[in-house]
Amino acid sequence: MPTTESRAVYDTDQDYDAGEEYTRFIGRKIFFIFSLIILLMLLIAGAATLGPIDYSNTEVYSAILQKFFPDSFNESERTMRVVWDVRLTRILFSILAGMGLGISGAVMQVVLKNPLASPYTLGIASAAGFGAAIAIIAGIGFFGNYLVAGNAFIFALISSFVIIGIAKHKGATPEIMILTGIAIMYLFSALTIFIEYFADPDAVKEVVFWMVGSLARASWDNFWVLFIVLAICIPLLVWKSWDFNVMGAGDETAKSLGVNVDRIRTISMVISSLIVASIVAFTGTIGFIGLVAPHITRMIIGGDNRFVLVGSALLGGLLLASADIVAHYIVPGVIIPIGVMTAFMGVPLFFFLIMRRKREYW
Residues that bind another protein (CB under 8 A): 13, 16-19, 21-23, 25, 109-110, 113-115, 239, 241-243, 245-246, 248-250, 252-253, 255-260, 298, 302-304, 306, 359-362
3-state secondary structure of 172: coil
Query: Residue 286 Cβ, how far from another protein at the closest point, in Å?
Result: 24
Q: What share of the chain is helix, strand, coil (3-state, %, to 5)?
A: 75, 0, 25
- 70 versus 258: smaller Cβ distance to another protein: 258
| CA separation, residue 103 to residues 81, 290, 297, 309 (Å) | 31, 7, 11, 5
- 243 versus 324: smaller Cβ distance to another protein: 243
Query: Residue 235 Cβ, how far from another protein at the closest point, in Å?
Result: 11
- 16 versus 68: smaller Cβ distance to another protein: 16
Please say whether the beta carbons of 233 and 271 come within 8 A: yes
Query: Residue 129 Cβ, how far from another protein at the closest point, in Å?
Result: 29
- 88 versus 238: smaller Cβ distance to another protein: 238
Kindly provide the residue ranges of all beta strands, DSSP E only, lying in 72-192, ordered along the sequence: none
Query: Residue 290 Cβ, how far from another protein at the closest point, in Å?
Result: 16
Query: Residue 291 Cβ, how far from another protein at the closest point, in Å?
Result: 14
Question: Measuring CA to CA, which residue among 222, 194, 203, 350 is closest to residue 280?
Answer: 222
- 61 versus 242: smaller Cβ distance to another protein: 242
CA atoms within 13 A on the CB side of 115: 9
Query: Residue 13 Cβ, how far from another protein at the closest point, in Å?
Result: 7
Query: Residue 307 Cβ, how far from another protein at the closest point, in Å?
Result: 11
Question: Measuring CA to CA, which residue among 109, 60, 108 is closest to residue 274?
Answer: 108
CA atoms within 13 A on the CB side of 3: 0
- 78 versus 170: smaller Cβ distance to another protein: 170
Q: What is the DSSP letter of 147?
A: H
| CA separation, residue 115 to residues 38, 107, 111, 295 (Å) | 28, 11, 10, 8
Please say whether the beta carbons of 278 and 229 come within 8 A: yes
- 59 versus 243: smaller Cβ distance to another protein: 243
- 15 versus 77: smaller Cβ distance to another protein: 15
| CA separation, residue 141 to residues 28, 131, 213, 226, 277 (Å) | 49, 8, 20, 21, 16
Query: Residue 25 Cβ, how far from another protein at the closest point, in Å?
Result: 7
- Separation between Cα atoms, residue 64 and residue 83, nearest integer Å: 7
